[in-house]
Amino acid sequence: RKEVEQDPGPFNVPEGATVAFNCTYSNSASQSFFWYRQDCRKEPKLLMSVYSSGNEDGRFTAQLNRASQYISLLIRDSKLSDSATYLCVVTNYGQNFVFGPGTRLSVLP
């Protein structure tokens, strides 16, 4: 079993739609949690950190459930510019970042 698993995708949604991505992690000792965004042929970039209390950044909402070892990302009012691959990332100890395989999103006009 992979250490971090994500919805396989791809997700094809119309502009304005709400879309949710799911991620599970296997190591209960995981300490920090993130969503990264990766555009085609580009490096991953931080979208947002994920906190136990849940957090929101504009149209993006991230949730963490430590008991279920589950992380989610909700995107509201999807824009064409949201088209990208979304990577779920956890750290297990120190600076050991573990990446999920990613979920590709295409927002269609």
Residues within the interface to other proteins (CB under 8 A): 4, 32, 34, 41-46, 49, 87, 89, 91, 94-97, 99-102
Least CB distance from residue 26 to other proteins, whole Å? 14
Residue 36 CA to residue 29 CA, distance in Å, equals 21
Q: Choose between 101 and 106: whose C-beta lies nearer to other proteins.
A: 101
Residue 80 CA to residue 8 CA, distance in Å, equals 20
Q: Choose between 14 and 43: whose C-beta lies nearer to other proteins.
A: 43
Q: Choose between 30 and 78: whose C-beta lies nearer to other proteins.
A: 30
Residue 24 CA to residue 63 CA, distance in Å, equals 12
Both structure tokens of 31: 């300490």
